[in-house]
């Protein structure tokens, strides 16, 4: 129903092209590109995860920050364009699809990152205040626990509370909640290591 409503103000054929473009942009291999430049392969070194945390561990702070920024921006772009050129419905779907493209890239056998930074880009556009609050919680948990996985698992769901307080509609929160579930599933191995007290500190 939501998609049908959005398509009345925007050509249905172009709508699907837009969504497909969001997925392709989400697949952009930021970590692999930065790893190539710094002569590291994040899929083979460290935890094997093509994300900012692993690149930080194996290549240093600047490469890690570059991956973080790239993963945020590649989701901000389709989400923001959807908001500006089409409708909020298309922005929400595009952002979620872009995050999925990062986490499950078809071009790399559906083996992607854990989605935390790209999720940040998604939320920044939809609910900036919730994004800032969640980032503050992430930093606080990281400082206390010293583990990025714990910070991500705690901070990611808090966005939903921020969105609820901002009066966002239920369907929008459902898309965000779905992304949060995927992030948790991507962190199952981290959770196992945490339970065994084997998770490495940042």
| Number of structural domains found in the chain | 1
Examine the pLDDT at 129 and tell me if it is beyond 70: yes
- Domain membership of residue 187 (yes or no) is yes
Domain assignment of residue 63, given as a range: 2-195
* pLDDT attached to residue 15: 79
Contact 168, 197 (CB under 8 A): no
Identify the sign of the CA torsion 117, 122, 128, 134: negative
Q: What is the pLDDT of residues 36-63, one digit of tens each?
A: 999 999 999 999 999 999 999 999 999 9
Q: What is the pLDDT of residues 78-88, one digit of tens each?
A: 999 999 998 89
Confidence band for 16, pLDDT divided at 50, 70 and 90: confident
Examine the pLDDT at 7 and tell me if it is beyond 50: no
- Domain membership of residue 82 (yes or no) is yes
* pLDDT attached to residue 95: 97
Q: What is the pLDDT of residues 60-73, one digit of tens each?
A: 999 999 999 999 99
* pLDDT attached to residue 13: 63
Confidence band for 17, pLDDT divided at 50, 70 and 90: confident
List helix spans (H) across the chain.
2-8, 12-26, 30-37, 52-59, 61-85, 88-103, 116-126, 128-145, 148-165, 170-186, 188-195
Q: Which two tokens stand for residue 162?
A: 């921020």
Q: What is the pLDDT of residues 18-34, one digit of tens each?
A: 889 999 999 999 999 99
* pLDDT attached to residue 86: 87
- Domain membership of residue 200 (yes or no) is no
- Domain membership of residue 182 (yes or no) is yes
- Domain membership of residue 122 (yes or no) is yes
Closest Cα partner for 99 from 179, 186, 153, 185? 179
- Domain membership of residue 202 (yes or no) is no
Examine the pLDDT at 3 and tell me if it is beyond 90: no
Q: Provide the percentage of residues in the chain whose pLDDT is more than 70.
A: 94
- Domain membership of residue 201 (yes or no) is no
- Domain membership of residue 148 (yes or no) is yes
């Amino acid at each position: 129903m939501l998609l049908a409503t959005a398509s009345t103000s925007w050509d249905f054929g172009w709508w699907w092209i837009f969504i497909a473009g969001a997925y392709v942009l989400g697949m952009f291999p930021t970590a692999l590109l930065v790893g190539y430049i710094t002569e590291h392969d994040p899929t083979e070194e460290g935890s094997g995860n093509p994300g900012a945390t692993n690149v930080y561990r194996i290549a240093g702070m600047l490469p890690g920050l570059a991956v973080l920024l790239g993963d945020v921006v590649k989701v901000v772009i389709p989400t923001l364009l959807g908001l500006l050129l089409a409708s909020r419905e298309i922005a929400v779907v595009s952002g979620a699809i872009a995050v999925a493209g990062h986490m499950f890239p078809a071009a790399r056998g559906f083996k992607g990152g854990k989605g935390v930074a790209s999720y940040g880009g998604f939320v920044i556009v939809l609910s900036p205040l919730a994004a800032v609050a969640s980032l503050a919680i992430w930093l606080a948990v990281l400082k206390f626990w010293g583990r990025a996985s714990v910070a991500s698992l705690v901070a990611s769901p808090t966005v939903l509370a921020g969105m609820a307080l901002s009066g966002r509609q239920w369907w929008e929160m459902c898309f965000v909640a779905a992304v949060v579930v995927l992030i948790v599933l991507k962190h199952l191995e981290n959770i196992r290591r945490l339970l065994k007290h084997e998770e490495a500190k940042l």
